[in-house]
């Protein structure tokens, strides 16, 4: 193996693939990136592969190949080396097969890295796709970013450790593509028009790490995303990058039962001002995470108190004409939901101080959030 590549191309690609690799590994080859060069008429291609045995990412970049071959090398170490080379530099990489050492040269800088054989690298077996459809990066990120904060991090609740993507249809309405996440304390539902190719999409649970990685890629590679789904896998293709992941094997709970239908009291207020007030008052709630909202006619009082940290209160105007109500929340959960409100107004639909609350952007009906109250 021997090739020359522009530092910028290699660095960008390595930044994608090394992100998948876990630094602490019991299997040494999983800490490595598989590099394979193929000679072609236009100079050649370098193919990079990385995996943690649950997610696999592959990317190709143009390089000047003088010798084809393949080998694996420690991903984070290679990335750190390329990152510290001068901008605009050319990088020459070659393999010494007798010593199993990769040689890296750029200007007067030289590095030698140990390698492991490519034959031991565990590439995932690709399953044939049962369903393939396309989303824009904006559509994909819209589904992810407005729901991923609610994904559970409790490993014992493995079926909640991801985003539930499925087809959804209310009676008399068109089919929708819906993303749902919950950790039992809050629930996020976001929907969009169902792509025609995605009709009859089976419900799938996309793991938390996969969601994070594809969201980062979508933010960099502004191209349409082709999504292919099989029985156990999901594959995202963005330009020269392909990310394949296992799906979570489990049944997602019936989240519709969590969404309250009897809430009849509505409070509307300025989303940004409420966020600022909750953030200020929460300074004295670091230990308990609790704040209380007192809904009064035309205003909302937000306050918190703690024996060790003192007390705080603040008030903002609101549209509310029902009887006075006190309700407590985990302020972090509330702030995360308020962070998803993009227009000026937020709507709270409530029943009483103990029932789940529906939170929505007044101008965006495509997203719905449910927040469980907290005893304060």
CA 303 and chain centroid, separation: 33
**pLDDT-based confidence at residue 162 (cuts at 50, 70, 90):** very high
307-325 pLDDT, tens per residue?
Answer: 888 999 999 999 999 999 9
- pLDDT recorded at residue 317: 96
Count of C-beta atoms within a 10 Å radius of residue 295: 21
Q: How far apart are CA 352 and CA 355, in angstroms?
A: 6
- Position 128 scores a pLDDT of 87
Q: Flag whether pLDDT at 376 surpasses 80.
A: no
Q: Contact 75/61 with Cβ under 8 angstroms?
A: no
Average pLDDT over residues 52-57: 96
- The structure tokens listed for 367 are 């997203």
pLDDT at 212 over 90: yes
Q: In CATH terms, is domain 2-120 a member of 3.10.150.10?
A: yes
The pLDDT value recorded for residue 308 is 83
Q: pLDDT band at residue 196, thresholds of 50, 70 and 90?
A: very high
pTM, two decimals, is 0.93
**Residue 202 banded pLDDT, cuts 50, 70, 90:** confident
Which two tokens mark 85?
Answer: 């080379």
Pairing of strands 90-96, 2-6: antiparallel
Instruction: Kindly report the average pLDDT of the chain as a whole number.
Output: 94
- pLDDT value at residue 96: 82
pLDDT > 90? residue 166 = yes
267 pLDDT tier (thresholds 50, 70, 90): very high
Sign of the CA dihedral with 34 first, then 246, 139, and 237 last: positive
Residues 74, 79, 84, 87, CA torsion sign: positive
User: Which pLDDT score is estimated for 98?
Assistant: 79
* Token duo for residue 272: 């940004």
| φ, ψ at 372 (rounded to 5°) | -75, 140
With 0-12 CB in 10 A as exposed, 13-18 as middle and 19+ as buried, what is 299? middle
Q: Which residue has the higher pLDDT, 258 or 308?
A: 258
Assign domain 265-371 to its CATH architecture. Answer: Roll (3.10)
pLDDT category at 172 given cuts 50, 70, 90 is confident
Are 118 and 32 spatial neighbours (Cβ–Cβ below 8 Å)? no
pLDDT above 70: percentage of residues in the chain: 100
Q: Kindly report, residue by residue over 78-88, the tens digit of the pLDDT.
A: 999 999 999 99
Residue 218 has pLDDT above 90, yes or no: yes
Give 259 or 287, the one with higher predicted confidence.
259
Residue 375 or 71, more confident: 71
What residue ranges of the chain are covered by domains with CATH 3.10.150.10? 2-120, 131-257, 265-371
CATH number of 131-257: 3.10.150.10
HSE at residue 339, side-chain half, CA atoms within 13 A, is 14
CA-based nearest residue to 80, from 54, 50, 52, 113: 113
At 171 the pLDDT is 85
Residues 315-352 pLDDT 10s: 999 999 999 999 999 999 999 999 999 999 999 999 99
* 43, pLDDT greater than 90: no
Give the H or E element holding residue 294: strand 290-296
**pLDDT for 22 beyond 90:** no
Categorise residue 117: left if φ over 0, alpha if ψ from -120 to 50, beta otherwise.
beta
């Amino acid at each position: 193996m021997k090739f020359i590549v522009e530092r910028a191309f290699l660095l960008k690609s390595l930044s994608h693939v090394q992100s998948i690799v876990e630094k602490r590994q019991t299997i040494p080859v999983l800490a490595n990136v598989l590099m394979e060069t193929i000679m072609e008429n236009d100079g050649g291609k370098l193919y990079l592969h990385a995996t943690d045995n649950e997610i696999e990412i592959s990317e190709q970049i143009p390089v000047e190949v003088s010798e084809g071959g393949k080998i694996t090398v420690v991903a984070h170490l290679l990335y750190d080396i390329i990152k510290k080379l001068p901008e605009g530099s050319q990088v020459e990489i070659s393999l010494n097969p007798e010593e199993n050492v990769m040689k890296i040269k750029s200007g007067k800088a030289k590095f030698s890295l140990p390698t492991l054989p490519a034959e031991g690298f565990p590439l995932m077996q690709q399953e044939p796709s049962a369903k393939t459809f396309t989303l824009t990066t904006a559509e994909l990120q819209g589904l992810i970013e407005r729901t991923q904060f609610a994904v559970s991090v409790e490993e014992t609740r493995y079926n909640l450790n991801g985003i539930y993507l499925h087809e959804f249809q209310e009676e008399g309405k068109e089919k929708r593509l819906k993303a749902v996440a919950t950790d039992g304390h809050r629930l996020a539902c976001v929907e969009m028009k169902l792509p025609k190719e995605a009709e009859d999409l089976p419900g799938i649970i996309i793991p938390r790490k996969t969601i994070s990685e594809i969201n980062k890629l979508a933010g960099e590679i502004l191209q349409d995303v082709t999504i292919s789904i099989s029985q156990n896998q999901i594959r995202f293709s963005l330009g020269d990058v392909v990310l394949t992941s296992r799906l979570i094997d489990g049944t997602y709970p019936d989240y519709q039962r969590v969404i309250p239908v009897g809430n009849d009291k509505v409070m509307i207020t300025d989303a940004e001002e409420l966020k600022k007030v909750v953030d200020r008052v929460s300074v004295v709630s670091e230990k308990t995470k609790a704040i209380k909202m007192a809904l009064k006619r035309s205003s909302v009082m937000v306050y918190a108190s703690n024996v060790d940290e003192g007390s705080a209160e603040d008030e903002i105007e609101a549209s509310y004409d029902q009887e006075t109500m006190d309700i407590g929340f985990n302020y972090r959960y509330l702030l995360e939901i308020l962070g998803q409100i993009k227009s000026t107004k937020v709507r709270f639909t409530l029943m009483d101080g103990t029932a789940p609350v529906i939170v929505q952007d007044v101008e965006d009906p495509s997203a719905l959030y449910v927040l469980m109250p907290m005893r304060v």
